[in-house]
Amino acid sequence: MRNVIVLMGLGAVAIACGSGDDRSFDPSDPGNGAPPSSLGNNNPGSLGSSSGTPPNETCAAAVNKATRAKVDVIVVIDTSGSMDEETNQVKSNINTFASKIGGTGLDYTVLFIAAKPGNPGPIPIPGFTLPGVCVPQPLAGADCADNPPIFHQLNKDVESTDSLKIIIDNYATYEPWLRTDAYKVFIEVTDDNSTDMSHTDFDTKLLAKSKAQFGDATSRKYIFNSICGWKRNTAVKSSEKCDSAVNIGSEYQDLSVLTGGTVESVCEKDYSSVFDNIAKGLVTKLGCEFGFPKSQTGQTDPTTVVVNYTAGNASAAKQLTQVTDQSKCGTIADAWYYDDNANPTKIIFCPTTCTTAGADTAGKLEVAVGCKAPPPK
């Protein structure tokens, strides 16, 4: 009997033969809880297969919901005296941001590196404490408390120029809150620039901390987004800074360019569009990658994988087209490819597929395994 593995909704749902949670179904019986008709049997026509599988074959299936990529979001906030308004904008928009990325199917956690209210600061002054950052519910717990496993805060004062050094120096403290199988997504919020550590030094030291967490120089597993002194409608790394910023934040912008992150302006009076743009960039980069399906034995023939998409406003599924590699994305519509054709670990949507099928939160994505698929174009 063939195995069938399915990714459904915007997350992944596995259907595999022979597990302890299997529930047998007959595709001809409408009342048995079978999956959608496009996958109701291993009919070669319905899967786009040429394998000649008998159309009346019955599968024993287990259905388990999964998700897209995992992301650990690390928000680092300059809490120096010039950042009060900007800090309030972060607090006002962080819950909406988390809801948006969660709504796409990304499995997220959030870590804040910033002083909490009442922190005495780097140089304690009698009777004075920093206003700090108290993240509101529901992301955080009541009264600025952590809300594990979704939210943690490292109660650390971040000044105008030391954030990159703080990220590196305090890694051992916040490392237990990170997941080794998750992309790391940094969001730097500052009106100044790093003088304690260059972007190249930061990148080298971060990668040296853990290849599992951050990748390596050939394949980084982190994205650095900058909300800094960049002036809107100018080129990234322009010498012009936005009005209320102290510095353009060139070191942070360099990290964003290096890792494919987003550069935004810290001078905006309303951060809703700022976080919106970061969310869109994040979903485009990570939200259209799916884990390569595995059979019960852990082995899956890459030539037996078919990806189907049902739009949220449609009832019929259509088969997306596999291409040999990313270079074919601009020439073939509704396309996807493997990260490695010989030993794939990911199914990756081409950019146009990502903004259509991948962004359809009401749609359904299905990946069927077990029948011979059409050869990639």
- Give 251-281 pLDDT, tens digit per residue: 999 999 999 999 999 999 999 999 999 998 8
More confident residue, 293 or 322: 322
Spatial strand order of the sheet with 335-338 comes to: 289-291, 346-349, 335-338, 321-322
**Residue 285: per-residue pLDDT:** 80
Domain ranges of the chain: 13-66+290-320+336-369, 70-286
**Residue 10: per-residue pLDDT:** 35
Q: Which CATH architecture has domain 70-286?
A: 3-Layer(aba) Sandwich (3.40)
Mean pLDDT of 90-108: 90
- Give 212-256 pLDDT, tens digit per residue: 999 999 999 999 999 999 999 999 999 999 999 999 999 999 999
**Residue 149: per-residue pLDDT:** 96
Alpha carbon separation from 60 to 26, 275, 317, 371 (Å, rounded): 9, 44, 22, 16
pTM of the full structure: 0.71
* 244: number of Cβ within 10 Å: 16
Q: Provide the mean pLDDT of the chain.
A: 80
* CB distance 170 to 162 below 8 Å: no
Listed in sequence order, the DSSP H helices in 51-181 are 84-103, 163-169, 171-174
Alpha carbon separation from 328 to 61, 203, 321, 331 (Å, rounded): 34, 31, 11, 6
pLDDT over 90 at 1, yes or no: no
* CB distance 157 to 121 below 8 Å: yes
Chain center to CA of 194: 26
